Structure 1
Amino acid sequence: MAPAITLAAEAPKLSAANTGFMLICSALVMLMTPGLAFFYGGMVRVKSTLNMLMMSFISLGIVTILWVLYGFSMAFGTDSGSLIGWNSDWVGLGNIGLTELWDGYTIPVFVFLVFQLMFAIITPALISGALADRVKFSAWALFIALWATVVYFPVAHWVWGAGGWAFELGVIDFAGGTAVHINAGAAALGVILVIGKRVGFKKDPMRPHSLPLVMLGAGLLWFGWFGFNAGSWLGNDDGVGALMFVNTQIATAAAMLAWLAYEKIRHGAFTTLGAASGAVAGLVAITPAGGAVTPLGAIAVGAIAGVLCAMAVGLKYRFGYDDSLDVVGVHLVGGVVGSLLIGFFASGKGQSEVEGLFYGGGLTQFWKQCAGVFAVLAYSLIVSAILAFILDKTIGMRVPEDDEVAGIDQAEHAETAYDFSGAGGGAAKTAAVAAAVTGAESKKVDA
């Protein structure tokens, strides 16, 4: 009898369908940064609108160039000590073939790198919401460059890079609970502890100037997040990406409803700001967990995150740290909640066979999740605080108090978001329109 012939596994071939799918997902993730700009821009006072928009938009420029020069190599190159990657052929992206495939997948390296670039762009932009009204734009731009280099690129390697310690440990982070949201939320906390509070914090009204802009931004984020999450499976062949897409919608809905319910019980009203914030909290929480949990598990993850994040946003008043737009309360807390709940709700029927406590798997995965969560949290918080301290003591992080009171838009950008001179009715009516838009803030601030 002739010996059996063993055929080698067929090498992956470029898939036009998966390539197109991933390019669309990349575009969706890119849209999230302008969406974030609108979300944050509507939440600040009218005098800070443009600055808030620019703090997100500038990340599109800075991080893109760094990614081309060395960021992609640091995050996804050959591992060194489980802490950082490097591949000299990727420096400048000049030695990558057009049809060269990302290892083990059916998409080109160029497609993978541009998808991951969009994650690298939005992560530092998330931090900006905690720093509204008071940071020099030049200092912020330099902070982005430094932070991406010494925090984001290494952490992305830990979590997603082959050989990264968290990746090898088995920490589950489908699309960025640790690498993006905990990373950004911890960084925000570290920076605000260094630069201090806004002028008038807990004294002057600091209400959102445009809730319609907030809702528009939240809607764009929700839309783009389908690419953020479903695309992170890097293809659409086995249904896991579809599960993630479905769970993204489910958890976001559950979190929004849970936040509103808490808000009604606690404060007596259903607010549009609460609806938008609850939706974002759900998106954050399901980001690490959506490939591991069932749709019912997604409801649980979303609802738990919605309530806990709604509770967490008030901690800044209790503890006295000025997290302007609740980056810590939503992104840090939501990322921690979503990442840790994998240890309880992982079903073993999604992205892997890993089971959480409620599915008979014990606490093994929970402890792995804890390792990833608290290592990233501590590293990002400490290093971000050090970077902010160095910048503050050298070039200065904050604008002068007079500029902060008068308005950072005019001081830093020589522009204002709204031109009231064309409102008609003379100076008195123009002043009245301005007061209405700003929510009738104190005379000290808006006179």
Structure 2
Amino acid sequence: MTVVLLMFPGLALLYGGMAGTKNVLNMFAMVMTTLGTVTIIYVLYGHGMVLGESLGGVIGNPLDYFGMVGHDQVGVDGGFAETLDLAFYTLFACITVSIIASGALGRMKFSAWMVFSVVWATLVYFPLGHWVFGDGWLGANVNFHDYAGGTAVHMASGFGALALAVALGPRRNLSARPHSLPLVLLGTGILWMGWLGFNGGTAAGANYVAQYTTMTTLFAGGTGMLGFMAFEKFRDGKATVLGMCSGIIAGLVAITPAADAVDPFGALALGFIAGAFVAWACTWKTKLGVDESLDAFAVHGMGGIVGAMFVVFFGWATYTNDEPIRGIFFGGDISLLWGELIAIGVTCIYAFGVTWIIAKVMDKTMNIRVSEEDEEDLDFKLHGQTAYDYN
């Protein structure tokens, strides 16, 4: 759990390095503040909405763990499982919301972001979390596999970032380029470390599944890097450091739903395929005319889909689950295909649609976009500081 916390400064450095010099601190702040806003509401009512008694399969009862006040399994000896769940799932919620900051780069009021993070977590992540991790209708009625949040975390944040970018419209000045590749590389390395805890910790203990999923996570990140760079080399004749970092994240995203469901060679293959596919998906935003420059949609949204579908066709795990997972090419049941497609479709459509509605309603009620003047220097105008002292 401790290393999962490192994912926040890691993501902040990744996004900050990819931003222009006048948007660095704003990206830092948007990523890190979810540890405050989302943590509060998760402890108050989010844990109940995700893991509480299901209300018709739609949402968990928010009063089940409300504020965790007087809960007999937290804060007393013997309450290890409940305490771990509360802390771990809090971080899951926070990092999911942080990823969406990609869709707000350089043009969203910071106060609006703070409100958006609370509303989005409540209306998008908590319901999806209940459907996937709790006793919601999706997990109860649909045969699909998602080890550590390919749907509720990555697809939801990727398609949420896309919807937020569409609702906000493009920046007025699109000429800014990633200003610090060293920050991007450092952030990627920290994220990779945190991801080992993210996937390994999902096993809820120092057990074989934790060891196994940490291994496959390591493998997929490495080949994700190679897949992205190979696509760049084929397309442009050069493999970039930014592409190397994006490929690592793509491989890590893809292995998240599949970490317990592929063998070591499958993890290598999945990472490479995801890296190459995400590299192609990163080109879509230009064709679509969408300003989602930090690529959460391509890396998290499409990378999550690649990982989920890989399980359908190439899943092979006989030791990490009570029931062995086998993809269609290894004699598995084709019903997993339909179940996975339903889970992907429901997650992506719900996340995109509700995010767009939230952004539009907020814009009508509180005008969430910064002024043209503020957009010229977001860090100083919104935070009163600059990342670099040029004097």
Which TM-score band applies after superposition, normalised by the shorter structure?
over 0.9
Gap runs ≥5 in structure 2: none
Q: 2:248 aligns with which of 279, 291, 301?
A: 279
Q: 2:230 aligns with which of 253, 257, 261?
A: 261
Residue correspondence of structure 1 range 32-181 to structure 2 within 5 A = 32-86=7-61, 88-98=63-73, 107-181=80-154
Q: 2:191 aligns with which of 221, 225, 246?
A: 221
Match for 2:380: what amino acid?
Q
Match for 2:366: what amino acid?
I
CA RMSD of aligned residues (A): 1.6
Identity of aligned residues (%): 42
How big is the shift at 1:403?
1.5
1:346 has 2:311 as partner? no
Any conservation in 1 of the 2:73–2:79 contact (CA below 8 Å)?
A: no
The residue number in structure 2 matching 1:391 is: 362
Match for 1:371: what amino acid?
I
Runs of 4+ in 1 over 3 A off after TM superposition: 98-101
Q: Provide closer, same or farther for how the CA distance between residues 61 and 365 of structure 1 changes in structure 2, counting only shifts above 3 A.
A: same
Q: Deviations over 1:248-294 (max 9, x none)?
A: 01111111011111111111212111111000000000000110111
How big is the shift at 1:172?
1.1
Structure 2: how far apart are the matches of 1:41 and 1:196?
A: 20
Q: Deviations over 1:214-259 (max 9, x none)?
A: 001000000000110011111233x222111110011111110111
Q: Deviations over 1:62-110 (max 9, x none)?
A: 0110011100011000011111111634101112235699xxx994201
1:377 has 2:348 as partner? yes
Q: Deviations over 1:303-337 (max 9, x none)?
A: 11001100010111111011121111111000111
TM-score by length of 2: 0.96
Match for 2:133: what amino acid?
W
TM-score by length of 1: 0.84
Any conservation in 1 of the 2:263–2:317 contact (CA below 8 Å)?
A: no
How big is the shift at 1:384?
0.2
Any conservation in 2 of the 1:83–1:154 contact (CA below 8 Å)?
A: yes
Structure 1: how far apart are the matches of 2:106 and 2:63?
A: 40
Gap runs ≥5 in structure 1: 1-25, 422-447
Match for 2:36: what amino acid?
G
The residue number in structure 2 matching 1:13 is: none
Larger Rg computed on CA atoms: 1
Structure 2: how far apart are the matches of 1:77 and 1:303?
A: 38
Match for 2:8: what amino acid?
T
